[in-house]
Amino acid sequence: MAEKESEFPVSEETIDHQFRQLNHRHNNIYQFVMLYYNYIISKHDYGTGDLISMIEAHTITFIEENPGTTVSELATYWRKTKGAISQTVSKLIEKGFVKREQASYSGKTFLLYVTDEGLKLSKAHKLYDTIDIAKTLDQLLEKCSVDEIEAFFKVIKEYIVLIENDFD
């Protein structure tokens, strides 16, 4: 009787070695994603005295820049479920930053707009992010070249495409 061939064309030791090498590099990505996620969900004062998450701030700014947008449009843009976006929008309505109005063309469609307070917060958020991004880039330039930073952003853009394709 012939011995059964291994399911893998390479030895387990080789696989373990390759895994450790590849995983070591990808651990930086995992750590970045987890740290950034914690940063995104933590509350910040963008300069108005209101404590809101980055997700909420970016949602307000999207609505400010796209008046009359819908939850469905936000869900598509942010690649989130309508339920998740609805929860965020509901919080923003409760806090007085966003209002919703029924569309004249449909009884089921609600259009989103920022309130005066939402407009103030969106403007403050834009200023905060502009300063923060410039500061971050200055700090990165202490350790990385402009070309390295540009390459990083190019790789991130392509990585997003790969991940999106995994969900298709």
pLDDT digits (tens, 9 = 90+) for 40-50: 999 999 999 99
Q: What pLDDT does residue 7 have?
A: 62
The pTM (predicted TM-score) of the whole model is 0.81
Question: How many whole angstroms separate alpha carbon 82 and alpha carbon 28?
Answer: 31
Q: Give 98-134 pLDDT, tens digit per residue.
A: 999 998 888 889 999 999 999 999 999 999 999 999 9
pLDDT tier at 164, thresholds 50, 70, 90: confident
Q: Are strands 98-102 and 110-114 parallel, antiparallel or unpaired?
A: antiparallel
- Phi first, then psi: give them for residue 53, nearest 5 degrees: -80, 165
CATH topology of domain 15-166: Arc Repressor Mutant, subunit A (1.10.10)
What is the tens place of the pLDDT at every residue in 63-103? 999 999 999 999 999 989 999 999 999 999 999 999 999 98
What per-residue confidence (pLDDT) applies to 96?
A: 97
User: Which among 49, 40, 62, 44 has a CA at the least distance from the CA of 117?
Assistant: 49
Listed residue (35, 36, 77) closest to 59, CA to CA: 77
Per-residue pLDDT for 5 more than 80? no
* pLDDT score at 34: 93
pLDDT > 70? residue 3: no
